[in-house]
Amino acid sequence: MKKVIVGIAVLAILGIVLASSPGTQADVKNATTTVTVNEYVAIGMSNNLSVGIDFGSVDPDTDDNNATHNYDGASAGTSYWINISSDSNVNIDVCVGDNESLKLGSYVIGNGNYTWVNSTTSATDAWMIVGNSTAMTTTASYTRGGEDISPGNYNYFRFWLDIPKGQAAGDYINQVSFKGIKTGDAC
Amino acid sequence: MKRYAVIALIVLFLVPLAQADIGIGIKWNTEWRALNENSRQCITYGLYNPFDTDVLGYLRATKELQPLAEAEDSKPVSAGTSSDNSIPTEMCFNIPKVYKEDCLLLGMLCEKKCEEPKKTYDGEVMASYESVSTGGGVGSSTGTSFAVPLKIEVTCEPYDRDFTPAYVLTVVIIGVLLIYLLRKKVKK
């Protein structure tokens, strides 16, 4: 009888020891994984683009008037460009739009007369001619220019303006915005 | 002749780099954020300027985020600032109360079940700098900016109706009534 009691006691102690040892319990520890993804991009304009797109003094009933810096870069290239800094880590698209048509009081030169073309290749890209240009749209419906431009690269532009017959004389002004977005995002 | 050609090529290559460019940079670490309703919360972006000209940079929100955003003052961002040294700039949003609360009595004894679809606001945070006007003649002033997408999801925290104020009020009313009745009886 005494042996049985001792045996039970030994088994009970063994059971307690085993139960309290870490290896016998279903002991699940969770670790949280965290990571922060940083993105950065800097977008700039050439000095000649930053001071505005100027068509100078032009006559009514003339087409395809060049903006003043369309061909004054090196090798008759354009000196209008958007610059994606090499201190960036995302590729971007450039969207182009104006706030409204060129205006002088109630007189308007419609956006259909204001055209532009772009290239991501070079300032002298032969493709950048008026025949390949597209009409300006407002910022309510930006038009996509250069696409998938990687850091350290440029998006070059040329601009043309038609002045309709009978257009009232004066200074017509508006504002053109160049909006950078992550490649593939909506303008 | 060969030497001139090489020099011409180098000049051609360097021309875009040599001219002073002007612009702005933005650094961000979120394009989605869950924010509590009926609260004011801010998200920090970094403004930098690796170009050659000092600018006054600022942030503004567009699309659905525009009505929620607070107007931010522009701040000087010096030329030659790298993304590593970007200037922390907060964009703050006032998130309205969007989820339905069911109250029994004059805005009290309320419960919120959060059974409606989650409300999200889609928009952009744009980094820009103050634009420069064109001179006289026919033409356009220009500006450039970069738009970072941002989606804000408004979180809904459900809670049950809390009857504690009703119980307390009932106890107080009964207590006052008892005291009143006892005093009336004592006076008699």
The verdict on a CB contact (< 8 Å) between A50 and B22 is yes
pLDDT digits (tens, 9 = 90+) for A7-34: 555 555 555 554 455 555 567 889 999 9
Sites in chain B below the pLDDT cut of 50: 1, 6-18, 132-134
From the CA of B74, how many Å to the nearest CA of chain A?
17
Q: Is residue A55 part of a domain?
A: yes
Task: Give the total number of structural domains in chain B.
Answer: 1
Distance of alpha carbon B82 from the chain centroid: 24
Q: Is residue A8 part of a domain?
A: no
pLDDT score at B183: 87
Instruction: Provide DSSP, A103-172.
Output: EETTEEE-GGGEEEEEESS-TT-TT-SGGG-EE--BGGG-EE-S-SBPTT-EEEEEEEEEE-TTPPPS--
Is residue A6 pLDDT above 60, yes or no? no
CATH code of residue B93: 2.60.40.10
pLDDT score at B8: 46
Instruction: Provide DSSP, chain B.
Output: -HHHHHHHHHHHHHHHHHSPPEEEEEEES-SEEEEESSEEEEEEEEEEB-SSS-EEEEEEEEETTGGGBPP---EEE-TTB-GGGPEEEEEEEEEPP-S--EEEETTEEEEB---SPPPEEEEEEEEEE--B---SSEEEEEEEEEEEEEEEEEE---B----HHHHHHHHHHHHHHHHHHHHHHHH-
* Length of chain B measured in residues: 188
Segments forming the whole domain that contains residue A162: 43-182
pLDDT score at B107: 75
Residue A122's pLDDT band (cuts 50, 70, 90): very high
Task: Give the total number of structural domains in chain A.
Answer: 1
Q: Is residue A14 part of a domain?
A: no
pLDDT digits (tens, 9 = 90+) for A123-172: 999 999 999 999 999 999 999 999 999 999 999 999 999 999 999 999 99
From the CA of B101, how many Å to the nearest CA of chain A?
34
pLDDT score at B119: 96
pLDDT score at A4: 53
Q: Is residue A98 part of a domain?
A: yes
Q: Considering only the beta carbons, identify the residue of B25, B134, B143 that sits closest to A40.
A: B25
Q: Is residue B111 part of a domain?
A: yes
pLDDT score at B14: 44
Question: Is some CB atom of chain B closer than 8 A to the CB atom of A70?
Answer: no
Q: Is residue A122 part of a domain?
A: yes
